[in-house]
Amino acid sequence: MSTPPAPARPSLLSFWSDLPREGRMLLSIVVLEFLGSGLVLPFAVVYLHDVRAFSLSTAGLLLGLPPLVGFLVVGPGGALIDRIGARRMLAATLTTMLASDVVLAFATTVPVAAIALVLNGLAFGTSFPAAQTLIASVIPPGMRQRYFGVNFTLLNLGIGLGGLVGGVLVDVHHAWTFQLVYLGDAASYLPGLVLLLGPLRHVAGRPERSRDVPKAGYREVLTKPAVPTLLLLTFVSSFVGYSQLNAGMTAFATSISQVSTRALGFAFAGNTAIIVLLQLVVMQRIEGRRRTRVVAVMGLVWAVSWLLLGLSGMVPGTIAATLLVVACATVFGLGETLLQPTVPAIVNELADDHLRGRFNALNAACFQLPAIIAPPIAGALVGAHLGWVYVALLTAGCLLVGAVSVTRLEPQLTPEVNGQRPQPDASQETILVA
């Protein structure tokens, strides 16, 4: 008797052709939108300090406003998504981001810059849950993991290209060059607004609820099986992951490993390149596998990346230190290709339609909180020359992510939510008699 063959992994070509029209339209603008983000992302401190002549401490406080405000509004934002619909909320978010960039482009005083960055925080707190909810409303469950992977690839491609263009355009001796890139970032939101207000105006409106469904809120989300564990996983992975790459890693690399800022540029370029080059390959390889196991592998990959960073501190100021820092960020990017398609898919397959905004908002809050608390912790450890404690903390946290994913989260998920494709019915297979 023959064994049932494993289901074939769908090709990228079939993925595009199988996508709903709305999904293809949303993907078509990702590179352009995040090209705008890439134009300004690397230069915020330079703009505020060198161009607008704010002190470094003032610039730091100003740049702390978006994550703080974003965290404060993410809860109400999730409830508002469920009330008015993801499309309307995302359109309001893009409008707010556009206004923030325009105000910041002409901000010559601290209060005006603060207003711009508060607007940025309002949008920051609601953009992720609104976008994830909108995607889940138009993409069938079986395609969401692949969609999130392709979206992440295009996002990084846009940021990478934008960073290159911005690096060529900006000049600290000419304020107008910075105004140009901020206005360019503002303009990058216009295609999304046109889509949401025009061709996509029929999707992701106010969720329909039958009258027999009782009114529900965040308490009902938190009491759903697997949700608290998933939120813990998001918090820990964000704390030992993105929050460190953007703050602690750079502090360790410059203070302890003593590498140059140019080396950091190479490190982030390597991080972006590995995502753009490998995300689609990785996405094909993980299709149909348990998402919790994929996250566990991601934890191991990130643990290796932080160990590479630790090794760079043992050879400070050398070419070897530079290569190890670049390797750290590049290996970290490989871990990102495993994380980004999986966790958003789990969140949105656990979510009830009328509570989807709240599900995504809670996940976003657990992702954003570490961005507020991780930099001070990293700064304290690195500043006290406790680099080995810092690396050990991150490595242990990555291993904890893997353990929680496999031992706690996996038993709480159904096979379908965990990404496993149904096996063919053996009774329908042809029985071959030798």
3-state secondary structure 51-106: HCCCCHHHHHHHHCHHHHHHHHHHHHHHHHHHHHCHHHHHHHHHHHHHHHHHHHHC
* pLDDT for the residue numbered 324: 96
Average pLDDT of the chain, as a whole number? 88
Cβ atoms of 346 and 230 closer than 8 Å: yes
Q: Is 430 a residue whose pLDDT tops 50?
A: no
CA atoms within 13 A on the CB side of 228: 7
Most confidently modeled range among 115-119, 157-161, 168-172: 115-119
Burial class from Cβ neighbours inside 10 Å (0-12, 13-18, 19+) for residue 25 reads: middle
Q: Which residue has the higher pLDDT, 358 or 248?
A: 358
State residue 174 phi and psi, 5-degree precision: -135, 100
In the chain, residues under CATH classification 1.20.1250.20 are: 20-205, 221-421
* pLDDT for the residue numbered 429: 43
Lowest mean pLDDT among 51-65, 121-135, 180-194, 353-367: 51-65
Helix axes 387-403, 227-240, angle to 10 degrees: 150
Between CA 295 and CA 85 the distance in angstroms is: 30
Q: Could you say which of 1.20.1250.20, 3.50.50.60, 2.60.40.10, 1.10.3720.10 is the CATH number of the domain covering 20-205?
A: 1.20.1250.20
Q: Provide the token pair at 161.
A: 């290209």
Q: Is 213 a residue whose pLDDT tops 60?
A: no
Lowest mean pLDDT among 42-46, 105-109, 114-118, 265-269: 42-46
Total residue count of the chain as it appears in this document: 434
The pLDDT of 277-295, averaged and rounded, is 92
Q: Provide the token pair at 77.
A: 């934002």
Between CA 387 and CA 225 the distance in angstroms is: 38
- For the four alpha carbons of 31, 33, 39 and 41, in that order, the dihedral sign comes to negative
Helices (H) and strands (E) in the chain, counts: 21, 0
CA atoms within 13 A on the CB side of 220: 14
Q: Provide the token pair at 170.
A: 């900006």
Cβ atoms of 380 and 96 closer than 8 Å: no
The pLDDT of 189-200, averaged and rounded, is 94
Between CA 389 and CA 213 the distance in angstroms is: 50
DSSP string, 166-179: HHHH-BTTBHHHHH
Of 17, 16, 8, 19, nearest to 288 (Cα)? Answer: 8
Place of tokens 């508060």: 118
Lowest mean pLDDT among 4-8, 101-105, 160-164, 173-177: 4-8
Q: Is 111 helix (H, G, I), strand (E, B) or coil?
A: helix
Alpha-carbon separation of residue 391 from 300, 313, 351, 381 (angstroms): 14, 10, 35, 10
* pLDDT for the residue numbered 2: 46
Place of tokens 């990478």: 160
Of 313, 243, 214, nearest to 67 (Cα)? Answer: 243
Amino acid at 427: S
- % of the chain beyond a pLDDT of 90: 59
Q: Is 256 helix (H, G, I), strand (E, B) or coil?
A: coil
The pLDDT of 151-166, averaged and rounded, is 90
* pLDDT for the residue numbered 202: 86
pLDDT tens column, 322-371: 999 999 999 999 999 999 999 999 999 999 888 899 999 999 999 999 98
Q: How far is CA 281 from the centre of its chain?
A: 19
Place of tokens 């019915």: 425
- Class of the CATH domain delimited by 221-421: mainly alpha
